[in-house]
Amino acid sequence: MHETTTLLVEVGALLLLLGLLGRLSRRFGVSPIPLYLLAGLAFGHGGLLPLAASEEFFAVGAEIGVILLLVMLGLEYSANELVGNLRSAAPAGLIDAVLNALPGFGFALLLGWGWVAAVVLGGITWISSSGVIAKVLGDLGRVGNRETPVILSVLVIEDLAMALYLPLVTALLAGVGLVKGGMALGIAVLTVVVVLVVAIRFGHLISAALSAKDPEALLLGVLGLTLLVAGIAARLQVSAAVGAFLVGIALSGPVAHHATELLSPLRDLFAAVFFVFFGLVTDPRDMPPVLLPALLLAVVTMGTKLVTGYLAARRAGIAEPGRWRAGFALMPRGEFSIVIAGLAVAAGTVEPKLAALATAYVLITVVTGPMLARLPDMPWFKQRVRRRIAARQARPVPATD
């Protein structure tokens, strides 16, 4: 009884604090994500007042938060739009992998950590945070923008790539043989293909089974289906986020519209829990020794993400302001980076400083990324973009014979 009482007090106090921080952030027109993270740091391991009783609650809530963020994104788009975007964004996905994985890979080798640690750090710097970016797009009112499908295409390609990368890196860390590693990879590929086919071919049947006229039944049905598919995907070593996103893609029509309205408050609640938990499990005392290398790595890879988003949006025919918005939006890293670092730490076969470096790196990108995402909306930035466009248009066209 005492433990339950302590849990209620800790969770209640922290949620109340998050509500106040969210109101404060919106009053000043900034994203609440950095404030949620700082709150987690203040009350987590090594913080001012550690909250031990509620950590398990926030761990489960954080998983649900990522899942809800991704299913809500999926509800915005149809299966046909997903396939079309994936086809058009495949080259951008390749550019994304090369530009953003290589800096982490090379950085680990320069530090003398070995090639396995290099593969791990390459994954950490490669993958953007779908959860953070989804929250930023919602906070800035950009979900309906023309560049948003491009951003989502890059994120989905990354999440699908994680379905292949995570089993591979797990096998490398465990030192298993080629056969077992290949089997894990094969199961991951098969699972992604099956879920994607079901979402595209039988999505209308899934929507028909859920009534849009009964809000309670619809909420329970969509939430249950999302958690079920995400859990099965995770059990099969595929990203739970991928499963949740594909559930959102599978739903359409009035069901998708009403589900979006019903799930929005739950998404906001558990998304805040996700960001707080990220701070709760981070000990601020471990980060000062690796802060400078992490800052250098963050500056380089946030720049490469900016280039990735800009090129992807340009290839999709998006105007220049949208290209900049896409590039800045892709900067934050988050949940997958922490998962990858956690696998390395659990294996105990790589450099011990990798975990602290990854934590500091992710915190830097998660705190600064949402702030930088607002730059394209600033009047001075818009003016510079207009001048750039005008200068380009004023250039004389070369004469042809």
What's the pLDDT tens digit per position in 96-151?
A: 999 999 999 999 999 888 888 898 999 999 989 887 888 888 888 888 888 988 89
Q: What is the pLDDT of residue 80?
A: 66
137: Cβ–Cβ under 8 A, 6 or more apart, which residues? Answer: 143, 148, 151, 329
Owner of token pair 């949740």: 244
In a domain, 248, yes or no: yes
CATH number (domain holding residue 337): 1.20.1530.20
Q: CA triplet 155, 257, 135: central angle to 5 degrees?
A: 35
Q: What is the pLDDT of residue 7?
A: 84
Q: What are phi and psi of 126, to 5 degrees?
A: -75, -45
In a domain, 206, yes or no: yes
pTM: 0.73
134: Cβ–Cβ under 8 A, 6 or more apart, which residues? Answer: 69, 70, 72, 73, 271
Q: What is the pLDDT of residue 181?
A: 63
In a domain, 219, yes or no: yes
140: Cβ–Cβ under 8 A, 6 or more apart, which residues? Answer: 31, 373, 374, 377
In a domain, 172, yes or no: yes
Is there a contact between 224 and 247 (Cβ–Cβ < 8 Å)?
Answer: no
In a domain, 201, yes or no: yes
Q: What is the pLDDT of residue 323?
A: 93
Q: What is the pLDDT of residue 107?
A: 93
In a domain, 132, yes or no: yes
Q: What is the pLDDT of residue 83?
A: 67
Domains of the chain: total = 1
Alpha-carbon torsion 84, 85, 88, 89, what sign?
Answer: negative
- The rounded distance, in Å, linking the Cα atoms of 30 and 372 is 10
Integer angstrom CA distances of residue 150 from 282, 307, 363: 32, 13, 25
User: Domain residues for 342?
Assistant: 67-268+290-385
Which residue numbers in the chain have pLDDT < 70? 1-2, 29-31, 46-47, 53, 77-86, 163, 175-182, 184-185, 188, 191-192, 195, 237-239, 346, 349, 396-401
In a domain, 27, yes or no: no
In a domain, 253, yes or no: yes
Q: What is the pLDDT of residue 324?
A: 94
